[in-house]
Amino acid sequence: MKWKRCCAALLLVFFQHYLLVVTRAQANPSEAEIGRKFSLVARTQFPLVRDYVVQRYLKSLGQRIVARLEQAEFPYEFSVVQDDSMNAFAVPGGYLYFNSGLILRVSSDDELAGVLGHEIAHVQGHHMVRQQQDTKLLSYAGLASMILALINPVLAAGASSIAGAAQMKYLRQLEEEADSRGLENMQRAGFDPRGMPRFFKKMSEEDRLNPVDVPPYMRSHPMSQERLNYVENLLSTMHWNQTAPSDDFELRRVQAILRTLHAPKARMLAEFQQQAAAAPEDTKALALLGVVQLRFNDLAAAQQTLEQAAAKGLRLDDELGMLYLRLGQKEKARQAFARLSETDPQHAGAHNQLCKIFYEEGDLARASQECRTAQSLDSQLDESYLTLAQIAQQQGKSAESRILLAQAMELQGRPEAALAQYGQALSLLNPDDPRFPELEKKREELQTIVNELSQYRR
């Protein structure tokens, strides 16, 4: 894939940009700054999955764990990378990336929570920075190489032969610390801690059956029988409420959506039609067929299927809302998203869609309110920034409109476009405006990234 080929350049860009910042500031940047700047470049190179249902599912599991941490130092962010390999990695500062291939291989929320809990524990324990310090690799070149090693060890070795070869994997004691703390994270959040060893065993079995193509996650988080025994021993000392298994519909829906990104349409439709026909009383199987039909834009069939599943009592307002928007049935879409925002007030996607509907109807006040609500719930929703930019432009607030457009383009991984919008915003603002210094700083930061990226495109 293109993003894998660009990965070495990505981390080198990050590393070079970072050294420039360090040189200018004459101070060591924080882990939060490391993660934030990495995420800026990552958006330009990684094929991030932008489907809100997928994004929200991973974020909900991750934030469920973060909410139970004794002390959350960072505002954690969770992203899904469209890649079929089994991998996940955490960057200092609380930025976590999960490959779609890993999500497709889990069998329950608890298994995915096991990986989330483990990766969050690496961030909690400052393991990447500690490992760099413990091995005397005190340069940010070493840290950048370590991050790359967690993504792709082969590219890491080529990108930095000094640090890449030395830091192919977390040190054993740090892995055990992440296992121990990860189990505690799961326990506090109400997940079944047994999900962690279940998935680790699954990865170990895949490695055993196909040793030539070792999953990237196994390279950076080596799984030995000794480590599995350590996790099992920890479990034997823990106590947790033995609750009933969680409903797996959300996971199955996310997995179906992820498969539509690369699997052939005819094969997937046939598979889900067969599953629905084989279990006519299974409303969820019927709903999943509708989800697949909608993602493949088979709107007439999706409407029949989803409305039938909803009539049987399954709440599908998010899918129905998207369907009605595509069919041009805005009133039905508004009703669906309004119901969703009432039953789930934390659903940023529902507020975002209501914002767009109200904007198209000319109700700028309600549109602005819904967009601001969406932003407060999920700051990564670029669409809410775009709609607010249109509203600001109509209200004659040109500078604010340009700032909002720039923020949206940053989230979309378009640094050149964002840079241009920030420049126009600065040209419209009085230098005495309190926003001016921060915008200048942002423009300088993006200019450095754009300059570095352009070198690798030549």
Collapsed DSSP state (helix, strand, coil) of residue 81: strand
Structure tokens at 321: 């809302």
**Which pLDDT value is given to residue 142?**
54
Cα–Cα distance, 417 to 443 (Å, whole number): 11
Q: What is the DSSP letter of 246?
A: P
Q: Is residue 95 part of a domain?
A: yes
**Residue-wise burial string across 170-203, b where 16 or more C-beta atoms lie within 10 A, e elsewhere:** beeebbbbbbbbbbbbbbbbebbbbbbbbbbeeb
Give residue for tokens 């920890």. 234
At 64-87, the pLDDT tens digits run 999 999 888 888 999 999 998 888
Say if residue 456's pLDDT is above 80.
Answer: no
Neighbours of 252 (CB within 10 A): 15
Residue type, 139: S
Identify the residue with better confidence: 7 or 337: 337
Beta strand 88-91 pairing with 95-99:
antiparallel
Q: Is residue 295 part of a domain?
A: no
At 279-309, the pLDDT tens digits run 999 999 999 999 999 999 999 999 999 999 9
Cβ 100 vs Cβ 47: under 8 Å: no
Query: Whose CA is closest to 104, among 54, 63, 150?
Result: 54
What is the helix (H) or strand (E) element at residue 19, kind and residue range?
Answer: helix 2-25
Cβ 323 vs Cβ 343: under 8 Å: no
Polymer length in residues for the chain:
458
Identify the residue with better confidence: 43 or 297: 297
Query: Whose CA is closest to 49, among 78, 80, 95?
Result: 80
**Which pLDDT value is given to residue 172?**
73
Cα–Cα distance, 389 to 369 (Å, whole number): 13
Say if residue 201's pLDDT is above 70.
Answer: yes
Beta strand 77-81 pairing with 95-99:
parallel
Cβ 355 vs Cβ 370: under 8 Å: yes
Q: What percent of the chain has pLDDT over 70?
A: 80
Mean pLDDT, residues 373-400: 96
Cβ 166 vs Cβ 42: under 8 Å: no
* SS3 of the chain: helix, strand, coil, percent, to 5: 70, 5, 25
* Partner residues linked to 99 by β-bridges: 81
Say if residue 10's pLDDT is above 80.
Answer: no
Say if residue 386's pLDDT is above 60.
Answer: yes
At 87-135, the pLDDT tens digits run 898 888 899 999 999 999 999 999 999 999 999 998 998 877 776 655 5
pLDDT band at 310 (very low <50, low <70, confident <90, very high): very high
Say if residue 229's pLDDT is above 80.
Answer: yes
Crossing angle of helices 398-411 and 415-428, in 10° steps, is: 160
pTM of the model: 0.88
Cα–Cα distance, 438 to 346 (Å, whole number): 30
Cα–Cα distance, 165 to 167 (Å, whole number): 6
Q: Is residue 170 part of a domain?
A: yes
Q: Is residue 181 part of a domain?
A: yes
Q: Rounded mean pLDDT of the chain?
A: 84
Q: Is residue 348 part of a domain?
A: no
Query: Whose CA is closest to 276, among 245, 309, 251?
Result: 309
Mean pLDDT, residues 235-263: 85
Identify the residue with better confidence: 435 or 36: 435
At 320-345, the pLDDT tens digits run 999 999 999 999 999 999 999 999 99
**Which pLDDT value is given to residue 25?**
46
Q: What percent of the chain has pLDDT over 90?
A: 58
At 158-177, the pLDDT tens digits run 544 444 444 445 667 788 88
- Range(s) of the domain holding residue 152: 2-236
Q: Count of domains in the chain?
A: 1
Say if residue 428's pLDDT is above 70.
Answer: yes
Q: What is the DSSP letter of 211?
A: T
Identify the residue with better confidence: 85 or 452: 85
**Which pLDDT value is given to residue 168?**
41
Q: Which residues 6+ apart lie within 8 Å of 340 measured at CB? A: 317, 318, 321, 347, 350
Q: Is residue 442 part of a domain?
A: no
Query: Whose CA is closest to 371, among 398, 328, 400?
Result: 400
pLDDT band at 136 (very low <50, low <70, confident <90, very high): very low
